[in-house]
Amino acid sequence: GENVEQHPSTLSVQEGDSAVIKCTYSDSASNYFPWYKQELGKRPQLIIDIRSNVGEKKDQRIAVTLNKTAKHFSLHITETQPEDSAVYFCAAPDSGTYKYIFGTGTRLKVLA
């Protein structure tokens, strides 16, 4: 089955700096990689995703890159703002099933 590892577990950056969160996966058949943002007391929200037929996807200040050879994908947040402070989760599908395996989360703190 799929295994997803996420690093770092906590990340503090100064406002305006960039933040990078990395996830590795084990199943080479995995083909879809979403990222979720969960603010305190709220539901996880899908913020960006990437499919295995592309290497990078951007949406304003956030981007996701995928390296299929190395089996890792990363979330990049540029020009961080205090409202980016949250826990971020990566996920990958357990191929052959309909379930997702989530990373353990990264708590991002953007310091004003």
Task: Specify the residue, 35 or 110, whose C-beta has the smaller distance to another protein.
Answer: 35
Q: How many CB atoms lie within 10 A of CB 82?
A: 10
Question: Please, what is the minimum distance in Å from the beta carbon of residue 112 to another protein?
Answer: 26
Tell me the two tokens of residue 72: 């890792």
Of 38 and 78, nearer to another protein (C-beta) is 38
Closest distance to another protein from the beta carbon of 8 (Å): 15
Give contact residues for another protein (rule: CB under 8 A).
Answer: 31-32, 34, 36, 42-46, 49, 51, 89, 93-95, 97-105
Q: Strands (DSSP E) along 39-105, which ranges?
A: 45-51, 56-59, 62-67, 72-77, 86-93, 100-102
Query: How remote is the C-alpha of 40 from its chain's centroid?
Result: 17
Residue 78 vs 94, nearer CB to another protein: 94
Q: How far is the CB of 51 from another protein (least distance, A)?
A: 7
Distance CA 108, CA 28 (A): 28
